[in-house]
Amino acid sequence: MRYLPHTQEDITAMLQVTGNKSLEDLFSGIPESCRMTNDWQLPEPKTEWELNDHMQAIAQTMKVDQNFKVLIGAGSYHHHIPETVKALMSRSEFLTAYTPYQPEMAQGTLQGIFEYQTLTARLLGMDVVNASMYDGASALAEALLMGLRIGKKKTKVAVSAAIHPHYRATAAAYLCPTEFELIELPYLEDGRTDLSGLSDLEDVAAVALQSPNFFGVIEDLTGAGQVIHDQQALFITCFSEPLAYGLLKKPGDCGADIVCGEGQSFGLSRSFGGPGLGMFGCKQPFTRNLPGRLVGETTDLDGKRGYVLTLATREQHIRREKATSNICSNQGICAMTAGMYMASLGGTGLRELSRLNYDKTQYLKNALVARGARLFFEAPTFNEFVVEFPQDFQPAHQRLLEQNIVAGLELGGLYPKLKGRYLFGITETTSRQDMDKVADEVQS
């Protein structure tokens, strides 16, 4: 095996030093009753050639492959990834390092994450952003727990029903063993969250909204923030499409106290939903309640600028059961990648790309409406929207599949009330031609 460097001669010499008769002898401390005796159903070891063939054969069974136009976002977006980002994030000095416990040997990771924290904070309008969480869903769960920590004796948190259903499910799983109550706020006819029930609730530590929400609808964050703060609750916003903030108001400017979400759009492939990137930030007063790692700036013995992991007294390896979270490994290289992507876009490019995503989406919306479809929600949207067709869209969906287009996600599985309606997701990678093909199918 090429990864194992030991020759028989090495093994013999080393066993002599350790005083063992054989390699098996090294395990004499393991009781017989604990031993593995089952035969594994593993195939014979594959050479590099055989592995390539095997994986290619599996890849060929993907009916929807990279040649398809998948007009679905729903938390996983197809954006163009520059070659530079792929090449730079693949540098093995970044990729094959561990968490930067020895800062003198990890200044590359540390400065890169510090830059990621800074750019993300600027994007979201937050004072502090951590070094990453696992994904948008677990980030929301952690944000709600953080809200409850800050809310001290309060026992409830409320989340909008227009938050990604998987994020809500994850939050529910995290909160299940606790005494805390998770309340769902309905959405209004225009697709925004209905906050009117909030005033009847007591003891609410935090309220979470997603914007753009699962339906692509841009929430009135400023208005919501006022209502939520009037209830003495913390305002959490989440997102699955960070590109939106290249065009829309930053959640921090709308009064959000904690912002969390999924950063996959920034340079990461869809990869069947992972690895993604949990982005997580807050306003300054809550810094010491943050979950996860933080990189901070400092100086070395010579006064030279450098970076270290800091405020570790919040974390599990120091605080153990009193830690703000149990998270240890995060999504390090994904955060680096997002930093590279944001650096490549720049402020000018970010606005241009966001605008392009918005314009393309509006084009498909208008084209579908012109063919007799109806926008299910009236509120403005970013790069996703829900549409209702004059007749059953399933046959058209099928015909479009044959033209290598996946035309939206039918919502009945996630929202039974929305059965038959479709959620479309459009990015800069969707061409006008493909959108016209979809619109033409509605007409026919």
Judged by CB, which is closer to other proteins: 80, or 374?
A: 80
d(CA 275, CA 340): 16
Contact (Cβ atoms closer than 8 angstroms) between residue 212 and residue 244: yes
Quickly count: other Cβ atoms within 10 Å of residue 43's Cβ. 8
Q: Does 12 bind other proteins (CB under 8 A)?
A: no
Q: Does 8 bind other proteins (CB under 8 A)?
A: no
Smallest gap from residue 233 Cβ to other proteins (A): 22
Cα→Cα distances 118→86, 312, 348, 390, Å: 21, 19, 17, 47
Judged by CB, which is closer to other proteins: 14, or 183?
A: 14
The backbone region for 198, taken as left when phi is positive above 0, alpha when psi lies in -120 to 50, beta otherwise, is alpha
Contact pattern from residue 394 through residue 433 relative to other proteins, giving x for each residue in contact according to CB under 8 A and a dash for the rest: ------------x--x------------------xx-xx-
> What angle (nearest 5°) sits at the alpha carbon of residue 198, between those of residues 253 and 159?
65
Q: Following DSSP, what letter does each residue of 133-163 receive, concatenated?
A: BS-HHHHHHHHHHHHHHHTTT--EEEEETTS
Structure tokens at 226: 């006022």
Smallest gap from residue 195 Cβ to other proteins (A): 18
Q: Does 29 bind other proteins (CB under 8 A)?
A: yes
Judged by CB, which is closer to other proteins: 101, or 197?
A: 101
Structure tokens at 137: 């869903």
Q: Following DSSP, what letter does each residue of 340-376 receive, concatenated?
A: HHHHHHHHHHHHHHHHHHHHHHHHHHHHHHHTT-EES
Q: Map the footprint of other proteins across residues 195-224, applying CB under 8 A.
A: 218
**Residue selected from 328, 390, 412, 420 as contacting other proteins according to rule CB under 8 A:** 328
Residues in the chain: 444
Stretch that binds other proteins, among 153-161, 172-180, 193-201, 225-233 (CB under 8 A): 172-180
Q: Does 227 bind other proteins (CB under 8 A)?
A: no
d(CA 332, CA 94): 9
Smallest gap from residue 328 Cβ to other proteins (A): 5
Q: Does 122 bind other proteins (CB under 8 A)?
A: yes
Q: Does 193 bind other proteins (CB under 8 A)?
A: no
Cis previous bond, 212, omega within 30: yes
Stretch that binds other proteins, among 41-49, 197-205, 369-377, 386-394 (CB under 8 A): 41-49
Q: What DSSP state is assigned to residue 47?
A: P
Stretch that binds other proteins, among 91-99, 147-155, 197-205, 231-239 (CB under 8 A): 91-99
Judged by CB, which is closer to other proteins: 226, or 310?
A: 310
Site residue total, other proteins (CB under 8 A): 204
**Residue selected from 30, 230, 285, 440 as contacting other proteins according to rule CB under 8 A:** 30
Structure tokens at 390: 């004059």
Q: Which residue has the tokens 């997580």?
A: 280
Stretch that binds other proteins, among 67-75, 183-191, 194-202, 230-238 (CB under 8 A): 67-75
Q: Map the footprint of other proteins across residues 100-119, applying CB under 8 A.
A: 100-109, 111-115, 117-119
d(CA 182, CA 173): 10
Q: Which residue has the tokens 């007749």?
A: 391
Q: Does 167 bind other proteins (CB under 8 A)?
A: yes
Q: Map the footprint of other proteins across residues 290-319, applying CB under 8 A.
A: 293-302, 304-308, 310-313, 315-319
**Residue selected from 199, 232, 326, 391 as contacting other proteins according to rule CB under 8 A:** 326
- CA-nearest of 29, 32, 12 to 21 is 12
Q: What DSSP state is assigned to residue 67?
A: T
**Residue selected from 247, 258, 338, 368 as contacting other proteins according to rule CB under 8 A:** 247
Q: Does 378 bind other proteins (CB under 8 A)?
A: no
